[in-house]
Chains A and B, each alone.
Chain A
């Protein structure tokens, strides 16, 4: 997915079940329909704490693949030392 403003690739983040697209070029954040309302609702729930921080750009060569809203927050080295163990799970029926 490309940024509608500067055409740079967009990264998809998942924050508390809300999908956020951030441009890797101009750092602009785009929300799908309904997501602003959800964020506002979350903010109201946690008004005593700071608003959700802007996620840092993930260090990946590929633009982040779209994922469902129930997906895990994906990052550059989320798998890290679990890579081989996680890979092993993909070799068997579950």
Chain B
């Protein structure tokens, strides 16, 4: 079924569910929150319906949904225990939560990011849980960059990618011990219900993996100069205080963060360059910051930086 046909149907489903939850629905707030190949998200009043990517594995999504429903202190609780089938697309339903305010960087919930990740990483790892998909996403971003052809910024990004260990390129199993990981952490993955605390959303990449991966995107932002050190420190302190397991209490976090932070910098740079090429525009200053970081990685293969995990 095409996306144009999917949207109205998805909206109708969200509307149905919203009306079972709120008998006095004003029917005001309806709209698409996101409409991308990897998922279409529609909101009606306090209900959100997400149509997952067409290639989503039904069994894996069901397991991920069950795991997230079992961690109400970490994840926004799903409405309903199993994904629905909407003409071949898997759909899940969620309460609507307010996102992080993009116009107020000072109000960003860095402590909540640290605490929620620590709670997630400390959670019991269920036996029947799929693999965390972080490295796979990085590999897909690099494949996308290769597909758009030559660009002066592509070479340093691909060089930095080639220097990564196989596990970070999704070509070997991730180092053990594994923990329950989100797999695609960024600030858009935090929402809160009215008067409620912050919770994580988006379970598509959830699974067993290397917990440092979840900290690695903020680490990459910090390393690339996007995230001030003070805010990065607040996140790390909250993660430590909540007993996060990605690194030991007295350890330098960069011993485990170096490899995944390089991988996420490469992923970001790959997407950035791919987008610029596709849109036929030059890289802006922030785009160049991530490409420059890839360039510096090639010059620092591990002698001057911290030892990477095998």
* Interface, chain A (partner B; CB < 8 A): 17-19, 32, 34-35, 38, 60-62, 64-74, 78-79, 82-94
Contact check, B102 vs A88: say whether CB atoms are below 8 A apart: yes
A30–B175 CA distance with the chains assembled, in angstroms: 33
B31 at the interface (CB under 8 A from A): no
Contact check, A65 vs B304: say whether CB atoms are below 8 A apart: no
Contact check, A86 vs B229: say whether CB atoms are below 8 A apart: no
B62 at the interface (CB under 8 A from A): no
A34–B305 CA distance with the chains assembled, in angstroms: 11
Some 23 contacts from A to B, beta carbons below 8 A apart, are A17-B296, A60-B230, A68-B257, A71-B222, A71-B224, A71-B296, A72-B292, A73-B225, A74-B228, A74-B229, A79-B225, A82-B286, A87-B108, A87-B187, A88-B102, A89-B221, A89-B286, A90-B227, A91-B99, A92-B186, A94-B217, A94-B264, A94-B267
Q: Which residues of B contact A71 (CB under 8 A)?
A: 222-225, 293, 296
Chain A interface helix/strand/loop/mixed: loop
Per a CB cutoff under 8 Å, which of B257, B272, B297, B300 touches A94?
Answer: B272
Chain B interface helix/strand/loop/mixed: helix
The interface size bin for chain B is 35 or more
Known contacts: A17-B296, A67-B254. The answer to whether A91 contacts B226 by CB under 8 A is no
Contact check, A64 vs B229: say whether CB atoms are below 8 A apart: yes
The 8 A CB mask of B260-300 against A (1 = contact, 0 = none) is 01101001100110000000000001100100110011011
* Interface, chain B (partner A; CB < 8 A): 99-100, 102-103, 105, 108, 137, 141, 184, 186-188, 217-218, 221-230, 232-233, 236, 252-254, 257-258, 261-262, 264, 267-268, 271-272, 285-286, 289, 292-293, 296-297, 299-300, 303-306
Contact check, B304 vs A18: say whether CB atoms are below 8 A apart: yes
Known contacts: A68-B223, A84-B103, A85-B286. The answer to whether A34 contacts B229 by CB under 8 A is no
Q: Which residues of A contact B257 (CB under 8 A)?
A: 68
